[in-house]
A and B are shown apart, each in its own frame.
Chain A
Amino acid sequence: GAGVSQSPSNKVTEKGKDVELRCDPISGHTALYWYRQSLGQGLEFLIYFQGNSAPDKSGLPSDRFSAERTGGSVSTLTIQRTQQEDSAVYLCASSLPVRSTGSTDTQYFGPGTRLTVL
């Protein structure tokens, strides 16, 4: 079956411009996550959706970052007035919460969008 897809795969933009990154989760997965990974670094959590609601936005680095999810499916991460420090790979993941046990949900990651801000 199809995995998590993200678009575009690469995005080059100029400082100060707005960008939109898209994530299509695995069909039926109610949980969706955004992370970012700077060069040579680990993953940094940004935001988590359960359905269309975002119970955890604690990782968004500034008010220039926002995200929405519609129809419990596709999500868009928007970065306004991009800065050079926003350059990173933005990864989306989805999961199907396991109710029967307390184990950690397996998150399935997309290939990421590489954002370069000039």
Chain B
Amino acid sequence: LAKTTQPISMDSYEGQEVNITCSHNNIATNDYITWYQQFPSQGPRFIIQGYKTKVTNEVASLFIPADRKSSTLSLPRVSLSDTAVYYCLVGRGTGKLIFGQGTTLQVKP
């Protein structure tokens, strides 16, 4: 499974757009890119998944360049409740997820 690298922490203010970039240089041809969010004292929650180009849902957007060696999770107009740890994962199909350290996002008022 491809290893991912993302910043350990980020700070932002309410109302700003936050972009978290993840690098996955060894991503395999069939791998998908998935992001999970984890609040304190809760299990992770799926946010978004993509294979290439751009994916958007009601929560976030995911930008994937043509070489797929990195991806960027974009959170529009964050609020205090978006303070959480965000995990980037790559893989395919059914099986274990490999979680790294994640990015701790702190949103300030």
Which residues of chain A have a CB within 8 Å of any CB of chain B?
A: 4, 31, 33, 35, 41-45, 48, 50, 56, 58-59, 91, 93, 95, 97-98, 102-112
Which chain B positions have C-beta within 8 A of A44?
99
Residues of B within 8 A of A31 (CB): 94
Interface residues on B, range: 20 to 34
Q: Which of A43, A97, A106 has the most CB of B within 10 A?
A: A43
Shortest CB–CB separation between residue A113 and chain B, in angstroms?
11
Of the 9-residue stretches B14-22, B45-53, B58-66, which lies at the interface with chain A? B45-53
Is B42 positioned at the interface, with any CB of A under 8 Å from its CB? Answer: yes
Contact with A along B12-39 (1 / 0, CB 8 A): 0000000000000000001010100000
Report yes or no: A42 in contact with B101, Cβ–Cβ below 8 A.
Answer: yes
Chain A residues contacting B91 (CB-CB under 8 Å) are: 104
B89: which A residues are within 8 A, CB to CB? 104
A–B complex contacts, Cβ < 8 Å, 5 sampled: A31-B94, A45-B98, A48-B96, A56-B95, A102-B30
Whether the Cβ atoms of B94 and A97 lie closer than 8 Å is yes
Across-interface contacts of B100 in A (CB, < 8 A): 42
Let me know if B97 is at the binding interface, CB within 8 A. yes
